[in-house]
Amino acid sequence: MNQQEIQTLRTLMEYEASRSAPPKGFPELPDIPAGRYTDPRFFELEKEHIWRKSWLFAAHIDEIPQPGCWRLWENAGQPVIIVHANDGRVNAFYNTCSHRGAPIVTEQSGQRSRLVCKYHGWTYSHSGDLLAVRDPEDFVNLDKSCRGLTPVRCERFGNLIFVNFDANADSLMQWLGPVADEWEEFQFGNCRLAARHIWDLNCNWKIAMEANAEVYHVRSIHPRTVAPILDDRRNVNTLYPQGHGRMVAPRPQTAEDPGDLLTQRSPWVEMETVGEIARTCTQSYGIFPNWVSPLSQWTIPPLLFWPNGINKCRLETWTLAPDWGDGIKPDLWTQNDGEALSPVLLEDTEFGEWIQKSVESYGFKGVPLSYQEARIYHWNQFADKMIGAENIPEGLAVEQVIGNDWMYPNDPRVALAKA
Ligand code: FES
Ligand SMILES: [Fe+2]
C-alpha cells in the first residue's frame, strides 16, 4: 500500500468517526430475505452457481510438498484429488476413475509415482493421462487419450492452491482483481502452513460467515477481546468487484496500550514487507464466496466456511506464517493445537445455533442491514449476479442497490471527507 493510499484510508477513518449518518448518497439497503438462509431452492442455487463457479481455497503446497504427493479434498461437496506433478505443477481432478467411477484414492493424502484406480487398476499420470489399462485386448476401440481423469481448474496464489469447477472461469488473478496487488506485501509465496483445523457448526454457512463480515457486533460480542484493540467507529469498509470486501480499523485512540491480541502471541516471525496499515490496524479481507482473513505482519490466517447441508456448516481455521524455524508454530485460531477454538472465535460462533433456530422460525422475516454491515449486502448482491436474477424464485433475490459508484476504485467518501 503506497503513502497516498495510506493517507486516504486515514482520512476515511476520521470521516467515519465524524459522520452522523451514512455517507450522502449511500443507498438504503433493502432487507435480506429470510429464505436465503432456509429455502432449499436457494441452497441448490448456491450449489449450482456459487460453489460450482467460484475460486475456492483448497490446499497449501506444504500439504503436497513433493512430486507425487496428493491430497483428497471434498469440502465443496465434490470428490477432488489435488496432485503435485513431476513437472512441479499442481493439478486437480475429480477423484473418479474413467472406467466405472471408482475412487483413485480413498485416504486423505499420500504419495505415488502413478495414480492407480483401486477397482480394476487403471493407471493415470499426475497430469491425468490414462497410461495403462489391465487386459486392454478385451476393450473394443478404447481410445486411452480420451479416457484421462476429468480435470478441475487449479491455480496457485503463492503457496495457496485454489480450485474452480467451472472450466470456463476467468483466472484466479482476474477473480482476485485489485486484492491480488494489495496482498503482495504479505508474501503468500513464502508462507508456510502452520495450522489447519475443522469445526462443525450447527447453522447455515452464511450465518457463521457473516459474524466475521462486520464490526457492528464487536462491542457486544467481544468487549474484552477485540473491542480494546479495535476502534469500530473508525472502521473503513471497502467494496471490491466480485463480491470481495475489506475492513480496516485502527487501534482505539484513547486506550492506553491494551496489549495487542496478536503481539501477546509473539514471538512469531515477522514479515518485513508488511506495511503500516496492517501493522497498526486490524485489517481483514472477505473473498467471495467463503474466505475471511485478517492479515498482519505475523500471519495469513484464513477462515473458510463450507456448507454441510442447509442448516449445518464447517468452519476451517487456517494459520499460514513465515517459516518459524525452531520457534513457536503460530496458530491464531485455536487453543492447544486444535483442542478448542480461540476465545475470539468462541465468541463469534456462540450464537450460530440460536440464530439458525430463529431464521427457521415463523417469526423471522428478513434482515435489515446498516451501512456498517454493507459488506454483507455487497456479498449478497454479487451472489445474485452469479446465480442470475432470472434463476431466483420470487421473494428470494436482493435488489442491486449498491452501484459501481460505491465500488473500488470509486469511493464517494473521499470527496465527502474533504468537503
Ligand atoms: S473403476 Fe477404475 S479401473 Fe475400473
Ligand atoms: Fe467477531
Answer yes or no: is 169 within a domain.
Answer: no
Residue nearest atom 3 in ligand 1 by C-alpha distance: 120
Residue nearest atom 1 in ligand 1 by C-alpha distance: 100
Output the average pLDDT for the chain. 96
pLDDT at 227 over 90: yes
Which residues have CB under 8 Å from 207's CB, separation 6+? 37, 313, 352, 355, 356, 359
The single-letter DSSP state of residue 273 is: T
pLDDT cut 90: percent of the chain above it: 95
Tell me the pLDDT tens digit for each residue of 304-323: 999 999 999 999 999 999 99
- Domain with 74, as residue range(s), is 56-160
Question: DSSP string covering 168-192, please?
Answer: TPPPHHHHHTHHHHHGGGG-TTT-E
Closest residue by Cα to residue 227 from 258, 248, 190: 258
Closest residue by Cα to residue 384 from 289, 306, 287: 289
CA distance 65 to 109: 11
Closest residue by Cα to residue 302 from 160, 101, 202, 143: 160
Which residue is it, cell 491430497?
71
Atom of ligand 1 nearest to the CA of 133: 3
- Residues lining ion ligand 2 (Cβ < 5 A) are 348
- Same domain for 231 and 363, yes or no, is yes
- Same domain for 88 and 22, yes or no, is no
Atom of ligand 1 nearest to the CA of 101: 1
pTM summary value:
0.96
Q: What is the CATH number of the domain that holds 143?
A: 2.102.10.10
- Same domain for 137 and 183, yes or no, is no
- Same domain for 292 and 356, yes or no, is yes
- Same domain for 322 and 393, yes or no, is yes
Domain count, the chain: 2
Tell me the pLDDT tens digit for each residue of 337-348: 999 999 999 999
Pocket (CB within 6 angstroms of ligand 1): 97, 99-100, 102, 117, 119-122
C-beta of residue 396 within 8 angstroms of C-beta of residue 42: yes
CA distance 61 to 45: 31
- Same domain for 27 and 156, yes or no, is no
pLDDT at 257 over 60: no
Four-CA torsion 56, 62, 64, 65, nearest 10 degrees: 140
Provide the pLDDT confidence category of residue 267 given band limits of 50, 70 and 90: confident
In sequence order, what are the beta bridge partners of 123? 116, 132
The arithmetic mean of pLDDT across residues 1-15, rounded, is 95
- Same domain for 48 and 77, yes or no, is no
The SS3 assignment for 263 reads helix
Closest residue by Cα to residue 287 from 369, 410, 188: 188
- Same domain for 269 and 386, yes or no, is yes
Between the CA of 75 and the centroid of ligand 1 the distance, in Å, is 24
- Same domain for 303 and 372, yes or no, is yes
Give the pLDDT score at 255. Answer: 56
Atom of ligand 1 nearest to the CA of 121: 3
Atom of ligand 1 nearest to the CA of 134: 3
- Same domain for 277 and 305, yes or no, is yes
CA distance 415 to 419: 6
Give the pLDDT score at 397. Answer: 98
Mutate to test the pocket of ligand 1, among 100, 114, 115 (most ligand atoms within 8 A of CB): 100
Residue nearest atom 4 in ligand 1 by C-alpha distance: 120
